[in-house]
Structure 1
Amino acid sequence: MTTTFRRSTPSALGIDATGLDRLVSALEGADGVEPHSVMVLRHGAVAAEGWWAPFAADRVHLLYSLSKSFTAAAVGIAVRAGLIDLDDTVVSHFPELDAEVTDERTRRMRVRHLLAMASGHRTETIDRAEAIDPRDTVRGFLLLPPDEEPGSVFAYNQPCTYTLGEIVRRVSGTSLLEYLRPRLFAPLGIDDFAWRRDDSGAELGYSGGYTTTEAVAALGQLYLQRGMWDGQRLLDEDWVETATSVRVANPDEENPDWSAGYGFQFWMARHGFRGDGAYGQFCVVLPEHDVVVAMTGQSLDMQAVLDAVWEHLLPAIDRQGAETADPALRERLARLALPPLAGDALGVLTPLPEGGFSAASGSTGIGAGLEALHLTQGTERGWVLTLRDASGEVAAPVGDGTWAVSGSTATSGARAGDVVSIDVRFVETPHLLHVRCDLAAGTAAATWETEPLHDGIATLHRPVD
């Protein structure tokens, strides 16, 4: 089963295509923003969609904290089934910890507080919880007394979401993925969702989800439709209302779209509400306009992404536009691409030692956590770059003036004299690695454009179920 939204045109859905064209230009031109995909839905149909090659519609993308909104949906489904009550105390789901958890604030912490990132802790607790118990994050979290009364303060806090995932696993007797497949993914037509797991085998819940842009749009559409999908109720309407309205104030957040309050694993915003994840993963829902926007990317300035949506998409809604603008936008979206490296062609590189160029961490440089790299020229595959770090090894053919896509990587190389530059994109994630080899000097340097939060080079791809 595959998610299939009806495809339409901007003008047929009451959107001026020139506004969408300006949105694309703004995303491509903003400092600190690199778009990988965008989908705009209105009235349940696709007005516009595009992927910047080498990213593609059928390829999953790491969601980072946008994963939290899927975990929250699992809680909502379990609440509807009577397996969880929002006013359950958290410790009641972990009876084996009852004697250990003596702090009165912790004992008053409820499921609704975890959903709202309002456990009573003033700051993130993941490192402290894992220091208390490296093998059991929930135990470490519940043994860390809150600073304030639960429900009174907001703090973005990964163990809140991890604990919610563990509660769902316990009440359902199965994993998060297995619980969601027949109850959320199958109805929405999501046939590819994977989750990074910890050493215990549990899905992270707060991060590590991989799925397609269209699946993200489907989740947003479900919430826009207040829990209904094809005549079937998946989430209670009062759950959706509660989850997508302010449960705890967060006025101290720096950016305007992060200081409008927090719901149940959804951020409120200047317009509508959203789920989001590090480096520009977005599910934006605008109920007043019947619009959903799903985006992926590698963006350090996530506020700039939302600013572009507000500046260019919002004025285009219900604005009369020329129908001739629709095909022009469609053609532009079909041609979207991230440019390969510019420079001279790789050709036959010299000086190159017999057996290829190798560098190891230390006197020859490197960086980005790499232990070693190796560059060779084969007769059939052309140039091949091999990278190794603590997570394992990755080998990829190097594109010469283009992106060479192989498995979960896409690489592009160029040269300037004896210096070879190679960009390595891990195309199921936001991440880009820059590699620079000086063949004459025998040195190499590697730097991340955006550093992975919980992966090495060998795990920067969709996890195997």
Structure 2
Amino acid sequence: MDMQVKRRFVLSVALSLCALLAVADRGSAGAQDPDQSAWPTREWPTSTPEQQGMDSAALAKLVAFGESHGFDSLLVERHGRIVLDAYYAPYTADIPHQIHSCTKAIISTLVGMTYRDGQLDRLDHPVLDFFAGGNIANVDDRKKAVTVQNLLDMTSGFDWDQGFEGGKEQTLVDQYRSSNWTQFTLDRPMAHAPGEVFNYIDGNPNLISAIITKLTGKLAEDYAREKLFGPLGITNWHWDRDPQGLTMGAWSLTLLPRDMAKIGYLYLHHGEWEGKQLLPAGWADVLDHATVSMHASFDPDLHYSNFFWVFPKEHVFMANGWHGQNIAVFPDLDIVAVVTAHKYVAQSALIEGVDAAVKSGAALPQNRNATETLADAIKDVAVETSTAVGPTSEMASIISGKAYKFPDGDLGLGLGLGLRLQSLTLFLTDPRPHMEVQLYSDHPTIFSGSYDTPIGLDGLYRKGTPAISGYDPGHVPAAKGAWLNGHTFVIDAQDLGYGGQRKYILSFSGKKLNLHLILEHGQDVSVDGEQDD
């Protein structure tokens, strides 16, 4: 992954001066005075890109990039107005999207509010103070010194393997097996003194969520409803709870892309919304206090602050989530960009694409050709393109409606969560082709039950009704299938709004079925089943 924007400094003094003047012009509009802003509490104002100093043709290229890189949506806002709002079929604008680890930035925003209101007295408050009276393992001087700020900076020092730079993610697996995630994190031994080493740890934001509840007497979600979502006009969300019933701080929040942009807009305006200061002074100026290096091999310049990823050279910071969920803030350019996706998104490509579209801080002349190019690009990605479908195998009528049982259907994929495939039935000759799957898990946080997923047989996805499945709530199942040959049926499936994508390769032989499941991040598993007579 290349996140570093290569720059050359070979210009003469005269040309350098010209470049500086050009940059000054591009940023001259800056972040508008909030009193002059059209606050998007009820709805976002819209504008052509040229009216906000951006090039429609350049944004059309960014839309095209998204089509080939797994985007579900792409939104760009400048000067308080949306200039680009694209949705990639089969995803649509009305489906809330799981924002994964962008949730961390929301939980840090909430703890900032407790600090503003004096409920949290100081950011260097020792974490163990909030859990006094409990039985915490591996307590030493280093653990006693861990502060709230250490949690926010991912420098708590806990011994934790989450695979940020590779690895087995063993600690994350062990956490999922635990019935008390707060206690699990508090009990971890110390690997480093707090503040010494950056280490990406989901346990840190989960502890912040628990601390918010200790401070306010409310779940973090309920506190957000009152202090954040309400003032910003966010009404459509879902936020999961951990095994103890606490709001999950590390991930699991779902939001509409336009509401994700409101979070970025709050930070763009230094924590102010409609004339009210929702965040402590300076809290939202993330670039000013991003002192922690992430020591990332893929980008040595990356920094971190309050659960935000920071790009110092590009002067951009963003909330970043698994599979390409991003809320990017460009303070110098007065821009917020939002991406939801079902594949990894190179943050550098997003930064460069947005930056390339900015031509001025003032309005540009209207460009009808460029405007039409962008409109066509947005329209095209919103319409699903059919994939090729070969002839239907005679096997379709033979296996349709037959249930296949899987006596050894372990789908745990090495996570040790006891997820098992019990049965699978295809209905390929029905008026409504679909697949029914019965899953079981002996783990309390993993959903057990039936899934019903419609299958398009014409090269287009068919959408089901929103599913509730453990920690994957509200997503919309969608699938399409085709016969690879006379005995192999392939299903491409997505969880719209979750960012999940997978492929089922079903190979039939007599009454036997081999299911090869391939997930979007390369993991796969193969299980054998047989018709249940």
Q: TM > 0.5 between the two?
A: yes
Compare 121-130 and 410-419 and name the one that shifted more.
Answer: 121-130
**2:388 maps to which of 342, 357, 364:** 342
CA contact under 8 A between 1:3 and 1:215: conserved in structure 2? Answer: no
Determine helix, strand or coil for the equivalent of 1:447: strand
1:53-72 matches, cutoff 5 A: 53-72=89-108
**1:359 maps to which of 401, 404, 407:** 404
**2:498 maps to which of 426, 429, 436:** 429
For 1:207 and 1:230, the matched residues in 2 are separated by 28
Matched, 1:330 2:375: yes
Matched, 1:13 2:52: yes
Larger radius of gyration: 2
CA contact under 8 A between 1:128 and 1:140: conserved in structure 2? Answer: no
Alignment partner, residue 460 of structure 1: none
For 2:181 and 2:408, the matched residues in 1 are separated by 39
1:65-80 matches, cutoff 5 A: 65-80=101-116
Look up the equivalent residue of 1:331 and give its one-letter code.
Answer: D
**1:410 maps to which of 478, 482, 507:** 478
Matched, 1:255 2:298: yes
CA contact under 8 A between 2:57 and 2:373: conserved in structure 1? Answer: no
1:199 Cα deviation after fit: 1.6
For 1:447 and 1:206, the matched residues in 2 are separated by 27
Alignment partner, residue 43 of structure 2: 4
Matched, 1:36 2:72: yes
CA contact under 8 A between 1:247 and 1:264: conserved in structure 2? Answer: no
Determine helix, strand or coil for the equivalent of 1:282: strand
Distance 1:79 1:414, change over 3 A: same
Distance 1:245 1:345, change over 3 A: farther
CA contact under 8 A between 2:70 and 2:343: conserved in structure 1? Answer: yes
CA contact under 8 A between 1:193 and 1:210: conserved in structure 2? Answer: yes
For 1:148 and 1:367, the matched residues in 2 are separated by 32
**2:455 maps to which of 398, 409, 434:** 398
Q: What is the root-mean-square deviation of aligned Cα atoms in Å?
A: 2.9
Alignment partner, residue 335 of structure 2: 291
Determine helix, strand or coil for the equivalent of 1:400: coil
**1:389 maps to which of 439, 442, 455:** 439
CA contact under 8 A between 1:116 and 1:247: conserved in structure 2? Answer: no
Determine helix, strand or coil for the equivalent of 2:283: helix
When the two structures are superposed, what TM-score results if normalisation uses the length of structure 2?
0.76
1:90-101 matches, cutoff 5 A: 90-97=127-134
Distance 1:366 1:315, change over 3 A: closer
Distance 1:86 1:98, change over 3 A: farther
CA contact under 8 A between 1:66 and 1:277: conserved in structure 2? Answer: yes
For 2:412 and 2:403, the matched residues in 1 are separated by 14
Determine helix, strand or coil for the equivalent of 1:221: helix
Distance 1:342 1:396, change over 3 A: same
Distance 1:259 1:365, change over 3 A: same
1:169 Cα deviation after fit: 1.0
1:195 Cα deviation after fit: 1.5
**1:311 maps to which of 352, 370, 384:** 352
Determine helix, strand or coil for the equivalent of 1:77: helix
CA contact under 8 A between 1:63 and 1:277: conserved in structure 2? Answer: yes
Compare 334-343 and 220-229 and name the one that shifted more.
Answer: 334-343
Determine helix, strand or coil for the equivalent of 1:370: strand
Matched, 1:195 2:239: yes
- Deviation per CA, 1:243-278, whole angstroms, max 9, x where unpaired? 86313122x21222x742100010101421011111
Look up the equivalent residue of 1:261 and give its one-letter code.
Answer: H
For 1:359 and 1:233, the matched residues in 2 are separated by 59
**1:157 maps to which of 201, 208, 218:** 201
CA contact under 8 A between 1:168 and 1:176: conserved in structure 2? Answer: yes
Distance 1:22 1:143, change over 3 A: same
Alignment partner, residue 110 of structure 1: 147
Determine helix, strand or coil for the equivalent of 1:109: coil
- Deviation per CA, 1:63-100, whole angstroms, max 9, x where unpaired? 11111011111101111111112121101111123776
For 2:220 and 2:307, the matched residues in 1 are separated by 16
For 1:98 and 1:370, the matched residues in 2 are separated by 38
- Which ranges in structure 1 are unaligned for 5 or more consecutive residues? 454-465
- Deviation per CA, 1:290-338, whole angstroms, max 9, x where unpaired? 01110011223x33xx232233321220255752112331232133145
Alignment partner, residue 223 of structure 1: 267
Alignment partner, residue 212 of structure 1: 256
Alignment partner, residue 459 of structure 1: none
Compare 352-361 and 48-57 and name the one that shifted more.
Answer: 352-361
- Which ranges in structure 2 are unaligned for 5 or more consecutive residues? 1-39, 163-168, 414-419, 441-447, 466-475, 524-533
CA contact under 8 A between 1:367 and 1:445: conserved in structure 2? Answer: no
Matched, 1:266 2:308: yes
Determine helix, strand or coil for the equivalent of 1:414: strand
**2:284 maps to which of 233, 240, 260:** 240
CA contact under 8 A between 1:130 and 1:137: conserved in structure 2? Answer: no
For 1:20 and 1:242, the matched residues in 2 are separated by 26
Look up the equivalent residue of 2:515 and give its one-letter code.
Answer: A
CA contact under 8 A between 2:155 and 2:195: conserved in structure 1? Answer: yes
For 1:36 and 1:345, the matched residues in 2 are separated by 30
1:448 Cα deviation after fit: 3.4
Alignment partner, residue 447 of structure 1: 517
CA contact under 8 A between 1:67 and 1:208: conserved in structure 2? Answer: yes
1:364 Cα deviation after fit: 10
- Deviation per CA, 1:373-413, whole angstroms, max 9, x where unpaired? 210146542x1111232232211221122221111211112
CA contact under 8 A between 2:181 and 2:242: conserved in structure 1? Answer: no
For 2:172 and 2:428, the matched residues in 1 are separated by 48
Distance 1:162 1:152, change over 3 A: same
For 2:277 and 2:518, the matched residues in 1 are separated by 44
Determine helix, strand or coil for the equivalent of 2:483: strand
Look up the equivalent residue of 1:394 and give its one-letter code.
Answer: Y
Compare 357-366 and 390-399 and name the one that shifted more.
Answer: 357-366
CA contact under 8 A between 2:404 and 2:425: conserved in structure 1? Answer: yes
CA contact under 8 A between 1:39 and 1:48: conserved in structure 2? Answer: yes
CA contact under 8 A between 1:16 and 1:322: conserved in structure 2? Answer: no
When the two structures are superposed, what TM-score results if normalisation uses the length of structure 1?
0.87
Determine helix, strand or coil for the equivalent of 2:101: helix
For 2:270 and 2:409, the matched residues in 1 are separated by 57
1:3 Cα deviation after fit: 5.0
Distance 1:6 1:57, change over 3 A: same
For 2:202 and 2:522, the matched residues in 1 are separated by 16
CA contact under 8 A between 1:97 and 1:139: conserved in structure 2? Answer: no
